[in-house]
């Protein structure tokens, strides 16, 4: 039975990486009475929901995990460089069991509202199961990429076949054998799914709106000697990724791509390409994100790779991105993605050359005036990133002001962790924090630890509320925009810019600090050390 009377010290929303560690910290370190609400029927978040073929992480597994459980870092063995979704889910289930977390998590329960009661200094939280509880602290661990985006395609209800969104795939899987399948989208998820589906389907048609620059993942077993040496060096690794730019052991080449010989540049490009993963994206020449000319040299290398891999020159041209600089969209990692378009059973329908999707019909998809027939349509259309899951909470802060109203023209936060007018609300990996530009467990752990320390400090000092000051928030938003404004990142119609959602305000959502997540960590520590500078404490 739902409980409508309980009060908690803290309510945490979400039981992915963020919610699990937040619960552990508040309950086991601070001794708080915590309730976690999770919409899914178990823990895992991203790794519970995203079950499409080929779903796996793109961060290297040795750093795509928690670092606070030192023993687990030694005990857990990942099967490959980028484990698949079931393995990551198994890992998070193991963490939950090892730390007895599930007893404080209420599953199959969605938070649908929260109001800050200014008289009682408490959050009143409502769920779709009828719970109405109070909490002093409300912590949104709702994920940056958890609010599924299914664009309102005309006629979808008419389609007689089956359709799925990649982030809501059925647990029992989907058998594509002998089927005519459409994949809509060519982002990071689609790039993982397309080669897998193409192996099963009788016919696969890929609907592309914007071509992406893909780089090779180079997945596989990790050399046991390397695994051993990493385990011996975990302390060093953790320190390095925490202080790094992107939460990974990737560092820019401290040179301009324009100031080296063509031969040297080609050698470096080959080296990064062969290393696979995010190296080409995050460990390239230091001016790649700043100089169009430098950027185009990197883009040109990938264009040449596409042309040499895809046999049909007309298809290759359509797969070559146009109109946005390299690296300004989430980097897809590719395992046989470009090769897949050499298969006889794979067709590319490109919005620019063949015409975009007009409607879904009973039999399939009409694009560019032509009807394509399918048994199954897979929408790999991503998420309402970063702001979507937070806005869906229907929060009301001081004076009954809704978060939707406060963010009508785009998100405004202080450090991406706190919002003026919403006391005692914390947003883990919220907009305007490094979040999705990092290897996320690093950003998540930093936020969780900062929030737990903040709550501990408040309790020690007898303070009951903390709230971002509007002027500190304004300054932060200005800083976030100024830093990214000096880069090429705002030149793409990316989900980082909110451009994948019709009507969403165009603003760069994460924080690309001048020193990345490492510099941001220092900034947050300084704020805390200066008695929570920029916050009002009562
Ligand atoms: C396909 C895919 C691949 C990815 N690969 C990588 C990668 O390689 N490296 C990387 O760093 N990051 C990757 N990410 C990002 C990934 O989301 C994070 O790494 C991490 O899993 C986020 O954890 P989280 O707990 O913050 O959020 P999530 O894992 O998204 O968990 C949030 C949880 O909150 C729940 N929730 C949301 N709203 C409510 C509500 N109102 N009420 C109740 N529950 C709610 C959701 O059900 C969800 O379970 C990937 C994301 C996707 C989608």
SS3 assignment for 288-352: CCCCHHHHHHHHHHHHHHHHHHCCCHHHHHHHCCCCCCCCCCCCCEECCHHHHCCCCCEEEEEHH
Q: Say how many Å lie between the CA of residue 250 and the centre of ligand 1.
A: 23
d(CA 213, CA 305): 10
DSSP state of 417: T
- C-beta of 50 in contact with ligand 1 (< 6 A): yes
Judge if the beta carbon of residue 391 lies within 6 A of ligand 1: no
Q: Residue 90 is inside which H or E element, if any?
A: helix 85-98
Q: Is 423 in the pocket of ligand 1 (CB under 6 A)?
A: no
| pLDDT (tens digit per residue) in 474-511 | 999 999 999 999 999 999 999 999 999 999 999 999 99
* Cβ 189 under 6 angstroms from ligand 1: yes
Question: Tokens 């007018």, residue?
Answer: 421
User: 211 near 329, Cβ under 8 Å?
Assistant: no
Distances (CA, A) of 126 to 22, 316, 398: 20, 51, 17
With a 6 Å cutoff on the Cβ, whether 517 touches ligand 1 is no
How many angstroms separate the alpha carbon of residue 427 from the centre of ligand 1?
A: 13
Ligand 1 atom nearest residue 57's Cα: 8
pLDDT of 260 = 98
Tell me if 111 CB under 6 Å of ligand 1. yes
162-167-172 Cα angle (round to 5): 60
Q: What is the pLDDT of residues 453-481, one digit of tens each?
A: 999 999 999 999 999 999 999 999 999 99
Cut 0.75: pTM above it: yes
429 lines ligand 1 (CB under 6 A): yes
Give the pair of three-digit tokens for residue 242. Answer: 């925490």
The closest-lying atom of ligand 1 relative to the alpha carbon of residue 443 is: 11
Pairing of strands 370-373, 34-37: unpaired
Q: State pLDDT tens for residues 266-291.
A: 999 999 999 999 999 999 999 999 99
Question: What pLDDT sits at residue 4?
Answer: 53
3-class SS of residue 36: strand
Q: CA-CA distance, 9 to 31, in Å (whole number)?
A: 10
The one-digit pLDDT tens for each residue of the chain (538 residues) are 444 579 999 999 999 999 999 999 999 999 999 999 999 999 999 999 999 999 999 999 999 999 999 999 999 999 999 999 999 999 999 999 999 999 999 999 999 999 999 999 999 999 999 999 999 999 999 999 999 999 999 999 999 999 999 999 999 999 999 999 999 999 999 999 999 999 999 999 999 999 999 999 999 999 999 999 999 999 999 999 999 999 999 999 999 999 999 999 999 999 999 999 999 999 999 999 999 999 999 999 999 999 999 999 999 999 999 999 999 999 999 999 999 999 999 999 999 999 999 999 999 999 999 999 999 999 999 999 999 999 999 999 999 999 999 999 999 999 999 999 999 999 999 999 999 999 999 999 999 999 999 999 999 999 999 999 999 999 999 999 999 999 999 999 999 999 999 999 999 999 999 999 999 999 999 999 999 999 999 9
Over the stretch 289-305, which tens digit does the pLDDT of each residue have? 999 999 999 999 999 99
* Residue from 2, 11, 15, 16 whose mutation best tests the ligand 1 pocket (most atoms within 8 A of CB): 16
CA of 143 to the centre of ligand 1 (A): 4
For helices 440-461 and 516-529, the axis angle rounded to 10 degrees is: 0
């Amino acid at each position: 039975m739902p409980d409508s009377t309980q009060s908690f010290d803290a309510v945490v929303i979400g039981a992915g990486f963020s919610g699990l560690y937040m619960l552990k910290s508040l309950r086991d370190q601070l001794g708080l009475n915590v309730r976690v609400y999770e919409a899914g029927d178990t823990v895992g978040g991203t790794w519970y929901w995203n079950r499409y073929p080929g779903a796996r992480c793109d961060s290297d597994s040795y750093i795509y995990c928690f670092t606070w459980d030192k023993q687990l870092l030694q005990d857990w063995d990942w099967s490959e460089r980028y484990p698949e979704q079931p393995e990551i889910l198994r890992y998070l289930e193991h963490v939950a069991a090892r730390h007895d977390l599930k007893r404080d998590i209420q599953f199959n329960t969605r938070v649908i509202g929260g109001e800050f009661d200014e008289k009682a200094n408490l959050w009143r939280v409502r769920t779709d199961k009828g719970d109405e509880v109070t909490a002093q602290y409300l912590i949104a661990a709702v994920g940056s990429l958890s609010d599924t985006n299914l664009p309102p395609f005309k006629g979808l209800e008419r389609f007689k076949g089956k359709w799925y969104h990649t982030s809501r795939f059925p647990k029992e899987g989907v058998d594509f054998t002998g089927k005519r399948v459409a994949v809509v989208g060519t982002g990071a998820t689609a790039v993982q799914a397309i080669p897998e589906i193409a192996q099963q389907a009788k016919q696969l048609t890929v609907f592309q709106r914007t071509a992406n620059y893909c780089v090779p993942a180079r997945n596989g077993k990790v050399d046991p000697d390397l695994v051993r040496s990493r385990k011996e060096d975990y302390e060093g690794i953790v320190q390095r990724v925490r202080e790094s730019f992107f939460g990974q052991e990737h560092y820019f080449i401290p040179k301009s791509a324009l100031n080296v010989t063509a031969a040297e540049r080609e050698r470096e490009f080959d080296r990064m390409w062969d290393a696979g993963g995010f190296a080409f994206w995050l460990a390239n020449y230091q001016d790649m994100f700043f100089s169009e000319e430098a950027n185009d040299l990197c883009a040109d290398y990938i264009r040449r790779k596409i042309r040499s891999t895809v046999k049909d020159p007309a298809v290759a041209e359509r797969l070559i991105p146009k109109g946005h600089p390299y690296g300004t969209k989430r980097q897809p990692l590719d395992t046989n993605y470009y090769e897949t378009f050499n298969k006889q059973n794979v067709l590319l329908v490109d919005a620019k050359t063949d015409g975009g999707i007009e409607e879904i019909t009973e039999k399939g998809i009409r694009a560019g005036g032509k009807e394509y027939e399918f048994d199954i349509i897979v929408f790999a259309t991503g998420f309402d990133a970063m702001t979507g899951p937070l806005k869906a909470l229907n929060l009301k802060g001081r004076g009954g002001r809704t978060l939707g109203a406060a963010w009508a023209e785009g998100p405004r936060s202080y450090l991406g962790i706190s919002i003026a007018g919403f006391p005692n609300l914390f947003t883990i990996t919220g907009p305007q924090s490094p979040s999705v530009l990092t290897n996320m467990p690093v950003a998540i752990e930093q936020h969780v630890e900062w929030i737990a320390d903040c709550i501990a400090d408040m309790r020690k000092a007898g303070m009951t509320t903390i709230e971002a000051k509007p002027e500190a928030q304004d300054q932060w938003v200005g800083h976030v925009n100024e830093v990214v404004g000096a880069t090429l990142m705002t030149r793409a119609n990316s989900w980082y810019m909110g451009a994948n959602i019709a009507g969403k305000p165009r603003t760069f959502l994460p924080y690309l600090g001048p020193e990345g997540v490492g510099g941001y960590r220092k900034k947050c520590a300084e704020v805390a050390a200066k008695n929570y500078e920029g916050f009002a404490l009562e």
